Structure 1
Amino acid sequence: MAASEEARMGSAGTAKTTIRQPRPAIGLGHAIALYVGAVLGAGVLVLPGQVASLAGPASLLAWAFIGSLGLPLAMTFAALASRFPDAGGIVVFAGRAFGERAGGVAGWWYFTAVALGHVIVPLTGGYYVASALRIDQRFAYLFAGVILLLAVAANLAGLRVSGRVQLALAAGVSLLLLVTILVALPRVDPGDFTPFAPHGAVSIGRAAVVLFFAFAGWEAVAHLAGEFHDARRDLTRATAITVVTVLVLYSGVAFAVVVTGSYGSSTTDRVAVGSVLGAGFGISAATAAGVLAVVISAGTTNAFMAAISRLGYALARDQWFPRSMARLNTRGVPAVGVCATAGMGVAGLLTSYFARWGTEDLVSVPSTLILVTYLIGTAAGARLLSGRARVVAVVAFVLTAFVAPFAAAYVAVPVVVAVAALGYRRLASRRSIRHRSGRDRG
């Protein structure tokens, strides 16, 4: 698939059109860095303190439980991407399993979710920078724009440049989180674990629901599978290594927050990791958290920019988006897709600034869209895969479905996006038919 020089421009009776495919440029190390950047997102800055306040030391059980659930989800998407290495990712998986419309709608769900993520993730970093500099939080939107534009520049330069940036960022994130864990170890006291579950067993379940979204990001790299040098070999290996890495770092940081007592109020929770790191090195929590936030936000934005621009390319190739988004520059990068995604992020930041929306006002929408994307993706895995991979996909679907009722308040969001996707596709098909009719008459 990746080596093909032809891509189908929809199935509504249109002729094949030659479209260059992105070039293979991803090896094992680059893949791990992309995965780490996609999964180790800005949530690591706030969720350890938040769930510790919610469930006490017992929140560590929620981290371990949800982290282990990430394994079947991650392996399902890795198996699908290995079998169908295409820039479309979820579009191809859902389309093959349930038909072209299901694939297009799923693509719109994920594209919309990540486009909104290009507001939330950079803005999280911006908040921490503004806090570290002790300036008005309104400047957070400016810093967020800088983070977003840096990711755009790296991606337009090509995956090789973006990959080197991502490797550096992933290494930086991992090192800072590892240091956070190590500086907390001398402060371990058995008394920190009593009472273990001060708010009861139910609080552990509530914490687990919150943490489900901390491990989102496994689908993102699937859109880059066609650019792997050896997708069948490296995707599964990269997934396994990343699952272990993320689980160790997340659980370790959560442990560090609990044993140092760096939680208990919303103000403390927001800079819990920075508090641990700052105390270990004698610097302010705001400064430590600011450095960590910039590295994490930049890494996540860079990874998702690479993934979502490839999804835009595939949607345009298959007539779900304007055809211009399928154009590649001389480096094999879907430059129009990168710029369009960045434009949506900038527009979102400006809208949020003037509407005075914060990340807490935005996060439920992309979270719900990611959830339904995972539902259809794991269902596609259960239908398309075989043997042990199918069993893993079924497990991933069941566990994801278990969380779905908690997003019921936002059920209208994926419905509205689906209607928009189908409406656009219908208009595109009509324009295509009129164009062919006019050409035939000519």
Structure 2
Amino acid sequence: MTETSSAPGGRLSLGQGTALYVGAVLATGVIALPALAADVAGPASLLAWLGLAVVSAPLAATFAALGARYPDAGGIATYARLAFGDRAAAIVGWCFYLSVPVGGPAAALWAGGYVEGALGGGRSTVVATMVALLVIVPGANAFGIQVTGRVQIALAGLLTVFLGLAVALSLPHADLSNLEPFAPHGWQAIGPAAALLVWSFVGWETVTYLTAEFRRPARDVPRATAFAVIVVGVIYLSVAFATITVLGPRAGDTAAPLGDLLAIGLGGNARVLAAIAALLLTFGAMNAYYAGAAKLGAALARDGALPAWLDRGSSAGEVPRRSLAVLSAMSMTTAAIVVAARLEPQSLVLLTTGLFVTVYAVGVAAAVKLLPRRSGARFAALVAQGAVVVLLLMAGVYLIWPLVVTIGALLYLRLTRSARPVERPQP
């Protein structure tokens, strides 16, 4: 087993890579989850935020080490294949690939809620926003990773400034007495709150599917990860703290905490600005996820875990348009189900969380096996492994969905394994 050369080959710069990480992890959860977590656990939800921020550091370090060492469009699926074989690669690949058509519409629904709050129009505005995002994001990705990276740099800068502004303007109105009682629903409520907040910290695995696109993966992937960990951790904790201390008892009742924080800070109705922030956050997160998942789909097809006609675009510099089209079609199918059944984003989020936790479990286990013994990266993987066990326990019944996906992946391999020879690049 040899490592991929770290010689330049891709097109992503350090800045673009950092922006992709920030966009993937600083996801749509920040526009709604501070309020939802406060409703579940009160001020004690801050401990859930802090715990997940701490846990995300070794997870990020683990995936950065793997991405720098084995840059490939297959990402975690490639690491799983190197560590455990084709079946594990297919399972983890399917789990991530199928998470995007479920999570994408959920994220777009949240953004639609902010737009509806600013413009009115009821459910029609929410649905129209969702559909628009599900069209625009794949369309932007169809132009290639350089365009995606440039767009992401602009988005990351705007988002960082905007969220910082929301916190800075509202904090003078903070009241520390709003931290009492600290655990109104009991300490046990921190667990369910953390299960919701997992959505906000997934994303470290997303850029592993794009590591081959970096100009210098061995150098730039760890650096981009470190910068993103700091930015994301500071922003999440600041927004959560402001939501609790500024909004007080109504923190758990608001559907648009950022809008309320801005309204308080600016002394007026700032829901239009909040809607803009929600759209930017959602576009940034979806942009990174669709880019990574499209690359993954092409790599899975290259490795025999998806139909062969999807394999175009798996190499660095190529655009996986066929895989992107399949993701778009599945996302639109989910959107149609959402409209017909009048589903809310929370149910989709928890389904997606089960898939993400499964991806993390396999990816971290692969890291423990692949990374050099007595290295800092392997120590981070061991720490992350303990954290993932806790996340699996919190996912509970929502692990049924990844179980169904696992069965589907294994059946596909069984039915097609002798259909054609598979030629893979050697990491």
TM-score, normalised via structure 2 length = 0.92
Shift of 1:361: 2.6
Report the counterpart of residue 87 of structure 1 in structure 2: 73
Q: Pick closer, same or farther for the CA change 1:265–1:276 going to 2, 3 Å.
A: closer
* Aligned with 1:117 (options 94, 103, 119): 103
Report the counterpart of residue 185 of structure 1 in structure 2: 171
Report the counterpart of residue 241 of structure 1 in structure 2: 227
Shift of 1:410: 2.4
Shift of 1:346: 1.4
* Aligned with 2:180 (options 182, 194, 202): 194
1:102 aligns with 2:88: yes
1:401 aligns with 2:389: yes
CA–CA separation in structure 1 for the residues paired with 2:77 and 2:363: 9
Q: Pick closer, same or farther for the CA change 1:233–1:406 going to 2, 3 Å.
A: same
- SS of residue paired to 1:72: helix
Q: What amino acid is the match of 1:28?
A: L
Q: Pick closer, same or farther for the CA change 1:422–1:202 going to 2, 3 Å.
A: closer
Alignment of 1:334-413 (within 5 A): 334-386=320-372, 387-413=375-401
Alignment of 1:14-413 (within 5 A): 24-261=10-247, 264=250, 267-268=253-254, 270-284=255-269, 286-328=271-313, 332-386=318-372, 387-413=375-401
TM-score, normalised via structure 1 length = 0.89
CA–CA separation in structure 1 for the residues paired with 2:27 and 2:251: 22
CA–CA separation in structure 2 for the residues paired with 1:421 and 1:202: 36
Shift of 1:352: 1.5
Shift of 1:3: 8.1
The answer to whether the 8 Å contact 1:40/1:296 transfers is yes
Shift of 1:2: 7.3
The answer to whether the 8 Å contact 1:49/1:262 transfers is no
Shift of 1:427: 2.6
CA–CA separation in structure 2 for the residues paired with 1:333 and 1:224: 12
The answer to whether the 8 Å contact 2:210/2:292 transfers is yes
Shift of 1:266: 5.3
155-164 or 224-233, larger mean C-alpha shift: 155-164
CA–CA separation in structure 2 for the residues paired with 1:125 and 1:317: 35
Unaligned runs of 5+ in 2: 422-427
Shift of 1:285: 5.0
Q: CA RMSD in A?
A: 2.2
The answer to whether the 8 Å contact 2:10/2:317 transfers is no
- SS of residue paired to 1:204: helix
CA–CA separation in structure 2 for the residues paired with 1:69 and 1:331: 33
Shift of 1:175: 1.2
Report the counterpart of residue 424 of structure 2 in structure 1: none
1:422 aligns with 2:407: no
CA–CA separation in structure 1 for the residues paired with 2:103 and 2:198: 16
The answer to whether the 8 Å contact 1:89/1:223 transfers is yes
Q: How many residues align?
A: 415
Q: What amino acid is the match of 2:129?
A: F
CA–CA separation in structure 1 for the residues paired with 2:330 and 2:146: 24
CA–CA separation in structure 1 for the residues paired with 2:258 and 2:390: 30
The answer to whether the 8 Å contact 2:170/2:264 transfers is no
Q: What amino acid is the match of 2:388?
A: T
